[in-house]
Amino acid sequence: MTFKHALMAATLAALVGNAFAAEDRMPPIPADKLSDAQKKSIELLSEGAPAGGAPRNVGAGPWVPLLRSPELLNRLQRMGSYLRYESAFDPRLSEFVILLTARDWSNQYEWLAHQKLALKAGVTPAVTQAIAEGRRPTGMTADEEMVYDFIDELLRNRSVSDPTYARIKDRFGERGVIDLIAINGYYSMLAAVLNVAQSPLPGGAPQQIPTLPR
């Protein structure tokens, strides 16, 4: 099957799937059912992110199912704040990695939340479109190419080759290698939570990217 045919089949499957939307397994917990620990987690989330980050939408996305484990949520949100705002990578490359991760998981929420952020940070529309379609983008910057190769190998091979490792290490240092792995790992975990919980997109938003065959 060619890529074109595979993409057409995936798109058709996605459209059919939309007609029979999966039930939200972990919907928002009613306010009168929240434990003290859960209320504290919501309070911490609502305080917003560091370094000028926007307040989180605590009523949507991974925070809703994660609230079932409030202490885990508390620790994850601190990790997420570091990876988005204080890692070895600027926002353009961080958002680029998040899009690659969302695409690998076919996660609609992550794509909806981060595609516009990636564009705002400087990732070109052509590059985001190629990622959405499941193909290697053309016209990437040198930094984007080396990051793409690293994440692509990591996802396909569960490791990276010596040349791919060396390019990231030489450009971003050993801290960059670890932070790059962590960004992918963190957003993979959130995508897994969202996919298992079958969390819906906020506001009745339509499907963002086709579910590609695996």
Render pLDDT for 4-49 as a digit per residue (tens, 0 to 9). 444 444 443 443 344 346 899 999 999 999 999 999 999 988 875 5
| Number of neighbouring beta carbons within 10 Å of residue 213 | 11
Q: Which two tokens stand for residue 171?
A: 């450009």
What is the model's pLDDT at position 211?
Answer: 86
| Number of neighbouring beta carbons within 10 Å of residue 96 | 29
**92-133 confidence digits (pLDDT tens):** 999 999 999 999 999 999 999 999 999 999 999 999 999 999
| Number of neighbouring beta carbons within 10 Å of residue 16 | 9
Judge whether 95 and 107 are in contact, CB under 8 Å.
no
Q: What is the mean pLDDT of residues 56-60?
A: 74
What is the model's pLDDT at position 49?
Answer: 55
What is the model's pLDDT at position 118?
Answer: 98
What is the model's pLDDT at position 9?
Answer: 41
What is the model's pLDDT at position 14?
Answer: 42
From first CA to last CA, the distance across the chain in angstroms is 12
**79-90 confidence digits (pLDDT tens):** 999 999 999 999
Residues 6+ apart with CB under 8 A from 201: 108, 109, 112, 207, 208
164, pLDDT greater than 90: yes
Domain ranges of the chain: 91-197
Q: Which two tokens stand for residue 154?
A: 């990591």
What is the model's pLDDT at position 136?
Answer: 97
Residues 6+ apart with CB under 8 A from 41: 67, 70, 71, 73, 74
Which CATH architecture group holds 91-197? Up-down Bundle (1.20)
Judge whether 119 and 68 are in contact, CB under 8 Å.
no
What is the model's pLDDT at position 54?
Answer: 55
Residues 6+ apart with CB under 8 A from 141: none
Q: What is the mean pLDDT of residues 151-161?
A: 97
What is the model's pLDDT at position 181?
Answer: 98
Single pTM value for the model: 0.86
d(C-alpha 55, C-alpha 143), whole Å: 29
pLDDT band of 147, cuts 50, 70, 90: very high
How much of the chain exceeds pLDDT 70, in percent?
A: 86
What is the model's pLDDT at position 50?
Answer: 55
What is the model's pLDDT at position 204?
Answer: 87
Q: Which two tokens stand for residue 141?
A: 């910057």
> Cα 103 from chain centroid?
8
Of 122, 126, 100, 127, nearest to 111 by C-alpha is 100
R_g (Cα) of the chain, nearest Å:
18
Q: What does the buried/exposed string (b/e) look like for 152-190 if buried means 16 or more CB atoms within 10 Å of the residue's CB?
A: ebbeeeeebeeebeebbeeebeeebbebbbbbbebbbbb
Q: What is the mean pLDDT of residues 171-198?
A: 98
